[in-house]
Structure 1
């Protein structure tokens, strides 16, 4: 006869789940109409898993497993897996909310741990309330709970869940805002490209708000918000230097021209003071014989 449903082997690495596992086993045998104690024992030993079976062997030794009733076996396993009240309370009071754990899961786990603490009904909710206040990961929520007058477990649970929902809504809103900003920047970048404009931060074709150099420090002027190649101070300095070089070159050219004109004026003045005259001009190509001209210089006769 096929059995209804399945039940996995017990995970000995999670001993605190033993109580829940046995509850599921009782539902399993009830669903399948198993009432005979021997058959219950056989089914349990078949599904409990090899690790649990080895523990059973060590707990009932030197007796054989076949000689011990199921009630004795489960009693010894319960004593083995289930912690004492002191250990249970120790684990309960050390349980803080994990970084990625939501509030509902955290409260559920606290309820589960409280089952091994032996708290009576009069203090159970107080212990759960205190553990929520002390163990939540959000410091703002913790301050809110500490400021609440006459805080009960129900009120603490309500505030904690509402706070978590609000934070999730804010996070979703911020993500939407970021996406919208990205879309606007993308549109602006497209407009910059179409208009042929460049970003003043890095001289690229996009909006300044979307520039990766908006937090950069210029190597030239040491100011934040742009890089050296787009630095206006550097460009103004280069332009000024170019103008000065051009002015210097022009001045040199003017000086050279002025010097040339001065030399020409001096030459003209010299010519005016010491004029030269042609002695004769040969126009018809007739051959002229050499002749000597006697001259006296300082009473000495010289022929030229």
Structure 2
């Protein structure tokens, strides 16, 4: 047991009562595992003072211990207990308990364990279980679970914990049923093409080493079959109208919803041409490696559900639409001047 590492020095700052309880527990485990508890009292006391550190030894020098008790470990531990315990700030410890909440990544079991450890130092006595239950109801992360717990008129601690644990497991299972491939890494990609640029939405699979079998090929083939060339937006995406970029958009040619004007099948292109504005100049920056294709530039009246903001450029105020999601924005030359 020569490689057994003892606990660190006793921290005599902050919450002394909590620091002492944690340290003496670690020290007793070290004494048992190392076999020192089988040795003489003089060796045990020396080990205690050595492991506790220089600050603890300075406190030890202030104790009044009879000569016959200086080699008794229990007497030494009692002296340090009396030194640390009266300095327990009960108000602060209870504040830590009552403000405890379940973190974003903390499970219900770890949350309950944390509350029970905090409650040990709060002297709640017979109210311990009921106050832990109340803190679970108030501090749990899921709002739906909190509502269900508040409906219960008779809710013991064990029932509250079991219900929260069952709710946590079922939520995880539902999430897996909705998205069984959630653990697969995927990113949206933009593929280059000659001519007009089109965004291709799909899953970018991590390239497999040639010496390893690619077990995801059947799944990749299935995902490829789900992609379609959309006639409403001109992009390639899964067969689902919700993910289509044109979904919810109004056509500037026919006025109907859910397709772009450049793919309008009504044949009324004259209406679209009438709305096009003349550009003063269209320049190309040779230093920039990417080209951007502008298919249509049109003017539409602002609708009530659109969000605009007026910004000041020098002494001129210009009205902008916020967060359009476009790859590029075009403004009149008179605004630039």
Name the TM-score class by shorter chain. Answer: 0.5 to 0.7
Describe the SS at the equivalent of 1:232: coil
Describe the SS at the equivalent of 2:180: helix
Aligned-residue offset at 1:103: 0.2
Q: What is the number of equivalent residue pairs in this alignment?
A: 223
Aligned-partner Cα distance in 2 for 1:178–1:226: 30
Partner of 2:206: none
Partner of 1:161: 165
Aligned-residue offset at 1:239: 8.0
Partner of 1:54: 55
Partner of 1:95: 100
Aligned-residue offset at 1:14: 8.0
Partner of 1:237: 268
Partner of 2:115: 110
Map 1:256-295; keep pairs closer than 5 Å: none
Cα deviation code 1:225-249 (max 9, x no counterpart): 333322334xx1238999xxxxxxx
Aligned-residue offset at 1:143: 1.2
Change (3 A) 1:38 1:240: closer
> Which structure is higher in helix share?
1
RMSD: 3.9
Change (3 A) 1:240 1:108: closer
Describe the SS at the equivalent of 1:176: coil
Aligned-residue offset at 1:24: 2.4
TM-score between both structures, scaled by the size of structure 2: 0.54
Change (3 A) 1:29 1:75: farther
Partner of 2:29: 27
Picking from 160, 163, 187, the partner of 2:225 is 187
Describe the SS at the equivalent of 2:5: coil
Cα deviation code 1:160-202 (max 9, x no counterpart): 11111111111121212879xx86663132xx5xxxxx42122
Partner of 1:293: none
Picking from 132, 135, 138, the partner of 2:136 is 132
Change (3 A) 1:10 1:201: farther
Aligned-residue offset at 1:133: 1.6
Partner of 1:285: none
On the 8 A contact 2:94/2:122 being kept in 1, the answer is yes
The structure with more radius of gyration:
1
On the 8 A contact 1:201/1:225 being kept in 2, the answer is yes
Partner of 1:7: 6
Picking from 66, 79, 83, the partner of 1:76 is 83
Aligned-residue offset at 1:217: 2.9
TM-score between both structures, scaled by the size of structure 1: 0.59
